[in-house]
């Protein structure tokens, strides 16, 4: 027994001196002390050689030693593990693929506008943008809509209460007025943008929506130029075989004025609910710029003429994408928005 106790004391010293070296040293330690043929196991088999009256005392010492050997193993192992995770955290593996960045999609209104713009750009039109908060002159008066003109009532306008001269534009014509006031002639511009009307929001109409207007001012611009330009546009937009018609109309800012229809895209001209059984869909309004509008922008109406046109975006976009509620365009629901790709 004395001999065994002496041995245990030596082993204890040996264990206490051990540094927590690498995994190989740890495994060697485990085999030596805790393995199936290890020191702890051997000491337990020595138990039978101890005198019966000393066995209990020896058992206590041995158990104590076993616990020491085991806890040394656990702390050693934990030290190695925490060292290796710290090492991993401080090492950046540049060969790993990066975290994916969420990528958005273009808004369907934006896709539609860009497509219209690209067609007119090929004809030499450039894009002009203007303010959505506008004064009375650029939105109404310069467009031959004097103060008490009934057309102003037709367009239910959002006025700024404290400043009745300031309003949310009801069309993008304001941008064309500004272009005529500021730019040298000739002018050939296309004006996309958001406009506002004080209307009840429903599946069919909204209090804000998008328009694209065009303007071409030069010497000798004729109604024939207007017709051919717009005819080219719808052929590019809806295909070479598209059938169109021009109907006379009225706008205060153009004279003469017309509206352009295309053959209904849904029924092919047979007549359906979408075209109200007419076989035709109205897609834009147009006309020769009224001489008064030219003079309001200090352009000599005896020397220069021009044509203008305007179209809404939401209605044809609803048709194109087969959507039945205009409000989806402004709700920012990504489940809706994700369905549109850059291909129009």
Specify the residue, 69 or 230, whose C-beta has the smaller distance to ligand 2NL: 230
Q: At what angle do helices 55-89 and 2-17 cross, to 10 degrees?
A: 10
Shortest CB 342 distance to ligand 2NL, Å: 26
Query: Judged by CB under 6 A, which stretch of 71-79, 110-118, 222-230, 249-257 contacts ligand 2NL?
Result: 249-257
**Is there a binding annotation on residue 282?**
no
Q: Looking at residues 177 to 206 of the shown chain, list those that interact with ligand 2NL (rule: CB under 6 A).
A: 177
Please identify which residue in 120, 310, 314, 326 interacts with ligand 2NL, judged by CB under 6 A: 310
Specify the residue, 229 or 254, whose C-beta has the smaller distance to ligand 2NL: 254
Q: Looking at residues 63 to 82 of the shown chain, list those that interact with ligand 2NL (rule: CB under 6 A).
A: none
Specify the residue, 174 or 263, whose C-beta has the smaller distance to ligand 2NL: 174
Please identify which residue in 170, 176, 263, 305 interacts with ligand 2NL, judged by CB under 6 A: 176
Q: Does 212 bind ligand 2NL (CB under 6 A)?
A: no
Please identify which residue in 108, 192, 193, 285 interacts with ligand 2NL, judged by CB under 6 A: 285
Pattern 322-341, ligand 2NL, x by CB under 6 A: --------------------
Cβ proximity of 326 and 203 under 8 Å: yes
Q: Does 216 bind ligand 2NL (CB under 6 A)?
A: no
Shortest CB 98 distance to ligand 2NL, Å: 46
Distance CA 168, CA 211 (A): 14
Distance CA 209, CA 198 (A): 11
Segment (H or E) for 88: helix 55-89
Q: Does 213 bind ligand 2NL (CB under 6 A)?
A: yes
Please identify which residue in 33, 233, 238, 251 interacts with ligand 2NL, judged by CB under 6 A: 251
Distance CA 294, CA 167 (A): 23
Number of residues located near ligand 2NL, criterion CB under 6 A: 19
Which structure tokens are listed for 280? 């035709």
Which structure tokens are listed for 207? 């209090």
Query: Judged by CB under 6 A, which stretch of 84-92, 118-126, 127-135, 209-217 contacts ligand 2NL?
Result: 209-217
Specify the residue, 130 or 271, whose C-beta has the smaller distance to ligand 2NL: 130
Cβ proximity of 194 and 208 under 8 Å: yes
Distance CA 57, CA 208 (A): 93
Cβ proximity of 294 and 217 under 8 Å: yes
Distance CA 156, CA 204 (A): 17
Which structure tokens are listed for 19? 């540094």
Cβ proximity of 205 and 220 under 8 Å: no
Please identify which residue in 109, 221, 262, 289 interacts with ligand 2NL, judged by CB under 6 A: 289
CA 236 to chain centre: 27
Which structure tokens are listed for 126? 């450039």
Specify the residue, 39 or 143, whose C-beta has the smaller distance to ligand 2NL: 143
Q: Does 293 bind ligand 2NL (CB under 6 A)?
A: yes
Specify the residue, 69 or 234, whose C-beta has the smaller distance to ligand 2NL: 234
Q: Which long-range contacts (CB under 8 A, 24 or more apart) does 103-107 make?
A: 104/337, 105/337, 105/338, 105/340, 105/341, 105/342, 106/340, 106/342, 107/329, 107/337, 107/340
Shortest CB 270 distance to ligand 2NL, Å: 25
**Where in the chain does DSSP place strands (E)?**
126-127, 133-135, 159-160, 163-168, 187-196, 208-218, 244-251, 254-263, 280-289, 305-312
DSSP line for 154-172 = HS---EETTEEEEEE-SST
Q: Does 254 bind ligand 2NL (CB under 6 A)?
A: yes
Binding site for ligand 2NL (CB under 6 A): 173, 176-177, 211, 213, 215, 251, 253-254, 285-287, 289, 293, 308-312
Binding residues for Mg(2+): 255
């Amino acid at each position: 027994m004395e001999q065994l106790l002496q041995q245990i004391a030596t082993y204890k010293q040996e264990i206490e001196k051990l540094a927590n070296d690498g995994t190989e040293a740890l495994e060697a330690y485990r085999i030596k002390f805790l393995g199936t043929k290890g020191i702890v196991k051997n000491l337990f088999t020595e138990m039978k050689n101890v005198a019966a009256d000393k066995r209990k005392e020896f058992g206590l010492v041995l158990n104590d030693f076993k616990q020491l050997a085991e806890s040394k193993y656990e702390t050693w192992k934990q030290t190695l593990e925490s060292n290796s995770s710290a090492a991993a955290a401080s090492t950046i593996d540049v060969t790993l693929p990066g975290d994916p960045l969420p990528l958005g999609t273009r808004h369907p209104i934006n896709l539609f506008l860009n497509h219209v713009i690209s067609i007119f750009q090929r004809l030499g039109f450039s894009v002009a943008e203007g303010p959505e908060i506008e004064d009375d002159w650029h939105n109404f008066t310069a467009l031959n809509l004097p103060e008490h003109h009934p057309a102003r009532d037709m367009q239910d306008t959002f006025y700024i209460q404290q400043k009745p001269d300031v309003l949310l534009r009801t069309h993008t014509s304001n941008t064309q007025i500004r272009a005529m006031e500021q730019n040298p002639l000739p002018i050939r511009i296309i004006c996309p943008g958001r406009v506002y009307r004080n209307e009840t929001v429903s599946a069919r109409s909204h209090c804000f929506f998008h328009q694209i207007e065009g303007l071409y001012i030069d010497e000798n611009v004729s109604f024939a130029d207007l017709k051919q330009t717009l005819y080219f546009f719808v052929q590019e937009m809806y295909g070479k075989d598209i059938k169109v018609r021009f109907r006379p109309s009225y706008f205060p800012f153009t004279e003469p004025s017309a509206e352009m229809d295309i053959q209904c895209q849904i029924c092919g001209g047979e007549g359906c609910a979408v075209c109200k059984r007419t076989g035709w869909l109205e897609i834009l309004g147009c006309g020769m710029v009224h001489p008064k509008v030219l003079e309001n922008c200090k352009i000599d109406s005896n020397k220069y003429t021009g044509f203008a046109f305007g179209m809404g975006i939401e209605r044809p976009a609803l048709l194109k994408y087969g959507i039945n509620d205009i409000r989806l365009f402004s709700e920012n629901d990504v489940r809706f928005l994700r369905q549109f790709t850059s291909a129009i």
